[in-house]
Amino acid sequence: MEINTTRFGNINYGDSPVINMRGPILGFEHLNRYILINQKEASAFWWFQSVDDGAVAFAVVSPFLIKEDYAPELRDDDAALLEIKDQSDVLLLGVVTIRSNPTQVSVNMRAPIVINLKQKLGKQIVLDDDSYDVQHRIETDSN
Amino acid sequence: MLILTRKPGESITIGDDIKITVLDIKGSHLRIGIQAPKHLMVHREEIYLAIREQNIKASEYAATQKQQIEEILSKLATVIQKPTP
């Protein structure tokens, strides 16, 4: 199975698990299937690449790496929708927004993408807790 | 737009499986309870719009600035550790 992507050219995703969205990435309601591509080997960043539209991909990162005490509450109905039975099957991803000039990087901590790795199901959820920012800035200078 | 008057405790039904109940009113704040099927997303409008806008921005920047973005991500990735998907 192959897809022509804007960023990675033609990729064969036969070996990658395809995540089926049970709830959309808001604004991309027409796209249901995604794969995860590591930004670079061993990088903390991943690309959440649409299989339905090669031009659509989101840089994503675990929100737990951005905020140590991140404690999102998954609602029961979302857990049921994603058929989550075991917490260890869950992967959370924060959507990264990058502006290059000046360099500003933010992560959406309010609306993580929740993935059930076992069932390969996903949804972008919206947390009730308004202390989590849609644009949580991360420092781009390593000093 | 359909406009209805309701008192606290009263509800509105939409179709067979959506019910909206006015819970209480305090000053200018109205608390509303919503029962809807799981697959329907219910959000505060401003949050929904902010997230939608952010997703679109995230996707656009990612598409137009490939080279720079790879560099920024690579640099940032050295600062934070690897997750385990």
SS3 content of chain B, % helix, strand, coil (to 5): 40, 25, 40
**Is A20 a residue whose pLDDT tops 60?**
yes
Is residue B1 situated within a structural domain? Answer: no
Confidence of residue B64 (pLDDT cuts 50, 70, 90): low
β-pairing verdict for A121-124 and A19-21 = parallel
First to last CA, chain B: 46
Q: What tens digit of pLDDT does each residue of A92-135 get?
A: 999 999 877 677 899 999 999 999 999 999 999 999 888 999 99
What confidence category does residue B83 fall into, taking pLDDT thresholds of 50, 70 and 90?
Answer: very low
> pTM higher than 0.95 for the full model?
no
**Distance (Å) from the alpha carbon of B61 to chain A's nearest alpha carbon:** 6
Instruction: Give the pLDDT mean for B11-20.
Output: 96
Q: Which residues contact B15 (CB under 8 A, 6 or more apart)?
A: none
Q: Is A4 on the interface with B (CB under 8 A)?
A: no
Strands A136-138 and A2-5: unpaired
Among the partner-chain residues A7, A25, A45, the one whose CB lies closest to the CB of B77 is: A45
Same domain as B29, residue B11: yes
- Residues B11 and B30 grouped into a single domain: yes
**What is chain A's mean pLDDT, rounded?**
90
Sign of the CA dihedral B16, B18, B23, B26? negative
ipTM of this predicted structure: 0.90
Q: What is the pLDDT of residue A30?
A: 95
User: In chain A, what residues touch B63 (CB-CB under 8 Å)?
Assistant: 6-7, 55-57
Query: What percent of chain A has a predicted confidence (pLDDT) above 70?
Result: 96
Cβ atoms within 10 Å, residue A124: 23
| A-B C-beta contacts closer than 8 Å | 127
Q: Which has more pLDDT, A82 or B80?
A: A82
Residue of A nearest to B59 (CA): A58
Report d(CA A46, CA A60) in Å as an integer: 5
Residue position matching structure tokens 């050295």: B78
B39, B48, B69: residue with CB nearest A59? B69
Question: Using a CB-CB distance cutoff of 8 angstroms, which residues of chain B are in contact with residue A64?
Answer: 83
Q: Chain A residues with CB inside 8 Å of B41's CB?
A: 23, 126
User: Which residues of chain B lie closer than 8 angstroms to A77, CB-CB?
Assistant: 38
Mean residue pLDDT across chain B? 87
Q: In sequence order, what are the residues at sequence separation of 6 or more whose Cβ sits closer than 8 angstroms to the Cβ of residue A42?
A: B82
The whole-number pLDDT of residue A16 equals 85
The Cα B23–Cα B35 span in angstroms is 13
Q: Check residue B81 and give its pLDDT.
A: 60
- Provide mean pLDDT across the span A28-39: 93
> Which sequence spans correspond to the domains of chain A?
2-138
- Does the domain at A2-138 match CATH 3.40.50.1970? Answer given as no
Number of H-type helices and E-type strands within chain B? 2, 3
Going along A44-120, which residue ranges are E strands? 45-50, 57-61, 90-100, 103-116
- Whether B73 is covered by a domain: the verdict is yes
Task: Look at chain B and report how many structural domains it folds into.
Answer: 2
The answer to whether the beta carbons of residues A34 and A124 sit under 8 Å apart is no
Residues A72 and A86: their CA atoms lie apart, in Å, by 16
Token pair 């080279």: residue: B67
Residue in chain A lying closest to B76 (CA) = A140
List the 73-102 stretch of A: residues with Cβ below 8 A of B: 77, 80-81, 91, 95-100
Give the best residue of A70, A126, A136, A141 to mutate against chain B (max B CB count within 10 A): A126
Helix (H, G, I), strand (E, B) or coil at A33: strand
Higher pLDDT, B61 or A108: A108
Indicate whether B32 and B56 sit together in one domain. Answer: no
Q: Is the per-residue pLDDT at A141 higher than 80?
A: no
**Which residue range is the domain that position B23 belongs to?**
7-37
